[in-house]
Every structure is written in structure tokens, then in C-alpha cells.
């Protein structure tokens, strides 16, 4: 993604995941914004955004962060929300192991509390080690924890696969985590 597209992607993450009120946008309970309203309000807020550009941001997005609705009238973020939304993903059976990249400074607290969503609605898990390292790097010195997802599933925990392979769950108790030195 070029710089302009990255800037718009960050703006969309802000208003579709966290603060729609920042531009006076309304989202429905599924987290969908009306595209016409988004374009109008983004432009009123000083961002020059039009339909073609929005399409390019959605198509070229490295992590498939956003989706258009089937009727092409709506757009929403696929994961990462802090505002309450009903994403309506069907629970599905996860792979035996999933991964979570975090910063080494959080490890002590994670050993005590397990993984919790903190500001977001879900704990976000990666399908592979490499992706998890990149997620962890956003926070500091990265470390990758392994989640015994298959085992959790058998215990009755629910998992949801977002459209881009990011897995979501409510929490991961410490007994289902493997730390690298173990
Ligand atoms: C940590 C990005 C202390 C957790 C990414 C993480 C992802 C704890 C941080 C998506 C803890 C929260 C989400 C505990 C969890 N004690 N720290 N008990 N439990 N934490 O940003 O997973 O590029 O909310 O390890 O790629 O880093 O925005 O979550 O370090 O897919 O599309 O608390 O966002 O995608 O940080 O990232 P975040 P995340 P985008």
C-alpha cells in the first residue's frame, strides 16, 4: 500500500473500529457504515475520499482489514473493534495451535492473567508464527506465545475466524498457553 492508502486505512480503522463519533458516523449493530455517509463525513472532516479510492484501500489492504457488504452499500472492519459490534461470525473449530505475538514486557502479567482483550472486544490470534512476530513487534521486543487452541475448543471455548485468517476469542487462560522456553 502506498502512503496515501495507508493514511486512509488508518483513518478507516479509527472510525470503523473505535471512534465513529469522531466524524459523526453511525454504525449499525453489525459494525456496518453506509458508504455514502462515510464518504460525506470523511470529506467534511477534511479527508479527500471517494468511492474508487475506498475500493483501492479495501482491495490492496495487506491484512484484509475491511469488507464491503454484499449489496455494496456498506463497509465495516473485519476485526480489531473496541466498540461493541456483533460481527456475526459463526464459531468454528480452530487449528490445534494458534499464535499470539506480544511484547516481552507483558509476559509476566500474561502468565498471571492469561490473555485478555484489554481495549478490544476480543483477543486476536495469528495462524502462524511469522505473522505473530509482526503483531508483537508493534508493542516492543516481540515474543510469540502458542495457544493450545484445539484443547481449548474441546473445553468449550469459542473461536471465530475473521475474513483474513485472524482468529478471535474472548480470552485465553494461562493454562492453555505455552511460553517459548517451555
Ligand atoms: C497484551 C492488529 C498484559 C497483548 C494486529 C497485546 C492484530 C496483555 C496487548 C490486532 C494481557 C493488546 C490486535 C495481560 C493481553 N497482561 N498484557 N493479561 N493480555 N495483553 O493492539 O493482539 O494492523 O489490542 O498481548 O495485527 O496486539 O490493526 O492487540 O500485546 O491482528 O489491522 O495487550 O490488531 O491489526 O494490544 O493486535 P492490541 P494485538 P491491525
Look at residue 181 in the predicted model and tell me its pLDDT: 76
Please list the residues that pair with 161 across neighbouring strands.
167
Domain with CATH 1.10.10.970 in the chain: 3-77
- Which residues are within 8 A (CB) of 172 and not within 5 positions of it... i.e. 6 or more apart? 100, 114, 115, 123, 125, 147, 152
| 179/174 Cα distance (integer angstroms) | 10
pLDDT higher than threshold 60 for residue 147: yes
Q: Please classify residue 119 by burial: count the beta carbons closer than 10 Å to its beta carbon, then call 0-12 exposed, 13-18 middle and 19+ buried.
A: exposed
Estimate the crossing angle of helix 3-13 against helix 51-60, to 10 degrees.
90
Q: How confident is the model at residue 165 (pLDDT cuts 50, 70, 90)?
A: confident
Q: How is domain 98-178 classified at the CATH fold level?
A: ADP-ribosylation fold (3.20.170)
Look at residue 163 in the predicted model and tell me its pLDDT: 81
* pLDDT, average across residues 94-98: 98
pLDDT higher than threshold 60 for residue 182: no
pTM of model > 0.85 = yes
Domain with CATH 3.20.170.30 in the chain: 98-178
pLDDT higher than threshold 70 for residue 16: yes
Q: How is domain 3-77 classified at the CATH fold level?
A: Arc Repressor Mutant, subunit A (1.10.10)
Ligand 1 cavity residues, CB under 6 Å: 13, 63, 65, 80, 102-103, 106, 109-110, 113, 115-116, 118-120, 124, 135, 139, 166
Strand order in the sheet with 123-125: 123-125, 167-169, 160-161
* pLDDT, average across residues 39-44: 97
How far does residue 115's CA lie from ligand 1's centre (Å)? 9
Look at residue 164 in the predicted model and tell me its pLDDT: 80
* pLDDT, average across residues 68-88: 96
Which DSSP letter does residue 126 get? Answer: B
pLDDT higher than threshold 80 for residue 85: yes
Mind listing the pLDDT tens digit for each residue in 118-133?
A: 999 999 999 999 999 9
Amino acid at each position: 500500500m502506498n502512503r496515501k492508502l495507508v493514511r486512509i486505512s488508518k483513518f478507516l480503522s479509527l472510525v470503523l473500529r473505535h471512534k465513529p463519533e469522531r466524524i459523526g458516523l453511525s454504525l449499525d449493530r453489525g459494525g456496518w457504515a453506509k458508504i455514502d455517509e462515510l464518504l460525506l463525513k470523511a470529506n467534511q472532516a477534511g479527508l479527500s475520499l471517494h468511492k474508487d479510492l475506498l475500493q483501492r484501500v479495501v482491495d490492496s489492504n495487506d491484512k484484509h482489514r475491511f469488507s464491503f457488504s454484499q449489496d455494496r452499500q456498506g463497509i465495516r472492519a473485519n476485526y480489531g473493534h473496541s466498540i461493541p459490534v456483533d460481527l456475526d461470525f459463526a464459531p468454528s473449530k480452530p487449528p490445534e495451535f494458534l499464535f499470539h505475538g506480544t511484547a516481552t514486557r507483558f509476559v509476566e502479567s500474561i502468565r498471571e492473567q492469561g490473555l485478555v482483550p484489554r481495549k478490544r472486544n476480543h483477543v486476536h490470534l495469528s495462524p502462524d508464527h511469522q505473522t505473530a512476530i509482526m503483531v508483537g513487534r508493534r508493542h516492543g521486543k516481540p515474543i510469540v506465545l502458542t495457544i493450545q487452541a484445539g484443547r481449548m475448543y474441546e473445553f468449550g471455548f469459542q473461536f471465530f475466524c475473521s475474513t483474513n485468517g485472524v482468529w478471535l476469542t474472548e480470552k485465553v487462560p494461562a493454562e492453555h498457553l505455552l511460553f517459548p522456553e517451555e
